[in-house]
Chains A and B, each alone.
Chain A
Amino acid sequence: MVLAIALFGALMGLILLLTGRVRKRADLWQSLAFVLPALLLLSVGLIYPAIRTTYQSFFDRAGEFVGGDNYQFVFTNDAMITVLRNTAIWVFLTPLLSTFIGLVYAVLVDRSRVEAAAKAVIFLPMAISLVGASIIWKFVYEYRPDQQGIEQIGLLNQVLVWLGAEPRQFLIGEPWNTLFLIVIMVWVQAGFAMTVLSAAIKAIPSDITEAAQLDGLTGVRMFRYITVPSIRPALVVVLTTIAIGTLKVFDIVRTMTGGQFGTSVISYEFYTQGFRTLNTGVASSMAVILFVLVVPIVVYNVRQMRKAEYR
């Protein structure tokens, strides 16, 4: 440990010393020397794979050039269309639901007496990995038949049985099962939304809220005309961050259903195509599609953050 720190210090010193000796444009050289390793790693770990993946998406499994056939397959095959549909449902519903729940919760507990405890309750799932969360929810959805000598072990089905209803298999019926999977992601992400939005709400200058109160604004109208517009930048950041996280949802689908029963999404399907059927071309084209889908969200996110900074 000490040795590593010493080495790091020595290396920094060396770079500073060397770049310091350059007379002309010392600043430029200095920043280049520090940025270079990061650039190098970025190109090896991100840029090269991105180019290679795009290149591979035009070839079939035997290495023959097939043009856009892989993309055509993804957009015409029935199973793949289900995958695209599911991805769309995920990306649309998860950010909206998580942000809505997080926002309402943040407003409700704001400055209440139990604020800290209430926040902890909704924030805790954030600390659990998606695989862990999925395993928890697997037990919530667990199905046992309503027969003699058989006891329910799933929470939801036990509730159904107490209410006098038949237990049901939540993970089989398409397309509802996708919604039951989305619940898990919302459960995990609502805490994140709540934390960021709560901080934003607390940052609203009190003179604004006081002035609004003097003008007679209360309750829902206060929320609608003062709170929401004031925290707009934070809302956008939360929505886009959750949307990006949702596009990468691999763990939940794999743990809960393994992509069966029509629940697969792009991020899971490209793993199946690439590593189980060894169909690199189709897998690459799905990765490219995912990449193309993420880019606008990232660009929008970055621009919003910049705007917020310069304001």
Chain B
Amino acid sequence: MAMSSARKGWAAVGLAASVSLVLAACGGDDDGGDDTAGGGETSGGGGDCAFAEDFTDLDGTTVTVYSTIVAPEDAPLEASFDAFEECTGMTVVYEGSDEFEAQLPVRIQGGSPPDLAIIPQPGLLATLVRDYDAVIPVPDEARANVEASFDPAWIDYGTVDGEYYGTPFGANVKSFVWYSPSAFADAGYEIPETWGDLIALSDQIVADGGIPWCAGFGSGDATGWPGTDWVEEVMLRTAGIDAYRQWYQHEIPFNDPQVVEAFDTVGEILKNDQYVNGGLGDVSSIATTRFEDGGLPILQGNCWMHRQASFYQANWGEGVEVAEDGDVYAFYLPGIDPEQGNPVLGGGEFVAAFTERPEVQAFQTYLSTDHWHAERASKGNFVSANRTVPVDAYDSPVNQLSAEIIADPEAVFGFDASDLMPAEVGTVAFWTGMVNWITGASTQETVDAIENAWP
């Protein structure tokens, strides 16, 4: 995996080199007054390239982009840059890495940051701004683009200490419960509308001799994050969006009674021996099961429900149809307290710039336009928080459903809290805390330990 992405990197460098050679050759022709190079430019100004009219003087420039997205997801991503590259003559050198979060600060300190990075955690963005003073604020045109086509909250997520640093890139919806429509139909189960229905259904499955839930927290050295999503979902549903916001901003402590209640409500499902862990073992097996494998027992009928984000559809494997009448599909994880409405937990990535060159700012601006978001959606396997992208531009039913949920003004959208917390908490203490909690630590011990880790 690492090998192939490294190779990919070299291929990208090779490609960049050959493209720049070709461009250089074109430039040479231009001096001779040759018409072929001019032909290229006219196509640059015409029909398909209308979107690029605002982006001038980019011919021959190069912008490097660094992110967590590696093969196979990097292919549609790189394809979405093609139109811009063809129309402006700019070269985008893309590099993805599994070690992005650790490598980015190293590259910044080493004096060789990428021009643009696609950052999955606003908490990391804040750290880079505050501790490293390395991020260039978003250009005004890009900000205007985001204000025009996104929920205003997306400006907040990219804002650190009053300055705007990150434009929204991809988005995902986490509040899904995966299930097998055919198995539900055979057993006569209905999709639960409320939390009460959900628990009643779980009890029904137990009574029928099944194990309703399956889960997996394992994810290499990021082990524990699926657990934080569970707590965040319930926190949004029991305490509400305002308390949720106070929670990730540390205006209430991590061991606040509202957080304890959220943990305990999750525990009613995940720490219940009768409810978990279908086909995977006892409660503690949740800690060691890889998150990619967590929902697969549904296919064998060993479990019935698996809460995981929209992107989990990539894990079902070849030949498994993901659709309302297919092998697996997802329903919305119901709300708990009617007063808190129907909360939706989601996440997203942000584009931040580390160098101040006109072409970098131009490309960051382009990545915030409706054109790019539509272009990216058309390449597949992506959801955008951009409201102008038509729902049927997305390639799968789950992505369409996600886009509908994100665009719904009634939905209470909560951004992944652990991604918004400082790295010590959000990506270390909270993750480790979830692992310890599921393997036997009490809720109070767990939340106290996480609170102590807050810087």
Contact = CB atoms under 8 A, between A and B. Distances in A.
Interface of A: 61-62, 78-79, 143-145, 147, 149-150, 169, 171-172, 254, 258-261, 272, 275-279
B423 interface: yes
B204 to A, nearest CB: 20
B131 A61 contact: yes
B285 A145 contact: yes
Contact of A276 (B224, B282, B427, B439): B427
Nearest to A268: B221
B194 interface: no
B36 interface: no
Contacts of B427: 276-277
A172 B282 contact: no
Contacts of A275: 101-102, 105-106
A193 B432 CA distance: 36
B282 A279 contact: no
What 5 pairs across the A-B complex have the smallest Cβ distances? A275-B102, A145-B281, A258-B221, A277-B424, A260-B435
Given A145-B285, A169-B288, A261-B439, A150 B302 contact: yes
Contacts of A277: 423-424, 427-428
A110 B300 CA distance: 53
Interface string B405-430: 00000000000000000011001100
Contacts of B282: 145
A172 B428 contact: no
Interface string B292-330: 000000001010000000000000000000000000000
A144 B102 CA distance: 33
Given A277-B427, A278-B105, A278-B423, A171 B281 contact: no
Contact of B224 (A169, A260, A278): A260
B61 interface: no
B162 interface: no
Contacts of B277: 145
B279 A172 contact: no
B449 to A, nearest CB: 8
Contact of A62 (B102, B131, B287): B131
Interface in B214-237: 220-224
Nearest to A77: B452
Nearest to A255: B220
B259 interface: no
B77 interface: no
B258 interface: no
B102 A258 contact: no
Contacts of A278: 105, 127, 131, 423
A110 B102 CA distance: 49
A300 to B, nearest CB: 34
A172 B289 CA distance: 12
B423 A276 contact: yes
Given A145-B281, A258-B223, 19 more contacts: A61-B455, A79-B432, A143-B288, A144-B281, A147-B302, A169-B288, A172-B284, A172-B288, A258-B220, A260-B224, A260-B432, A261-B287, A272-B221, A275-B106, A276-B423, A276-B427, A277-B424, A278-B127, A278-B131
Interface in B87-126: 101-102, 105-106
B428 A147 contact: no
B283 to A, nearest CB: 11
A150 B279 contact: yes
15 contacts: A79-B432, A143-B281, A145-B277, A149-B302, A169-B281, A172-B439, A258-B221, A259-B221, A260-B223, A260-B224, A261-B439, A272-B428, A275-B101, A276-B102, A277-B424
Interface string B440-455: 0000000001000001
A144 to B, nearest CB: 7
Contacts of B241: none
Interface of B: 101-102, 105-106, 127, 131, 220-224, 277, 279-282, 284-285, 287-288, 300, 302, 423-424, 427-428, 432, 435, 439, 449, 455
A172 B288 CA distance: 8
Contact of B279 (A145, A260, A279): A145
Contact of B221 (A61, A145, A254, A261): A254
Contacts of B281: 143-145, 169
Nearest to B105: A278
A261 B224 CA distance: 11
Contacts of B222: 258
A169 B300 CA distance: 23
A260 B127 CA distance: 24
Nearest to A78: B449
B284 A169 contact: yes
Q: Which of A144, A172, A254, A278 has the most CB of B within 10 A?
A: A278
A259 B432 CA distance: 9
B287 A260 contact: yes
A276 B435 contact: no
A89 B279 CA distance: 35
B23 to A, nearest CB: 32
A169 B105 contact: no
Most B-side CB within 10 Å, residue of A143, A171, A277 = A277
B418 to A, nearest CB: 13
A149 B428 CA distance: 36
B435 A261 contact: yes
A62 B129 CA distance: 12
A198 B157 CA distance: 64
A62 B131 CA distance: 6
A293 B357 CA distance: 47
Contacts of A259: 221
A261 B287 CA distance: 9
A280 to B, nearest CB: 9
B221 to A, nearest CB: 4
B428 A145 contact: no
Contacts of A279: 424
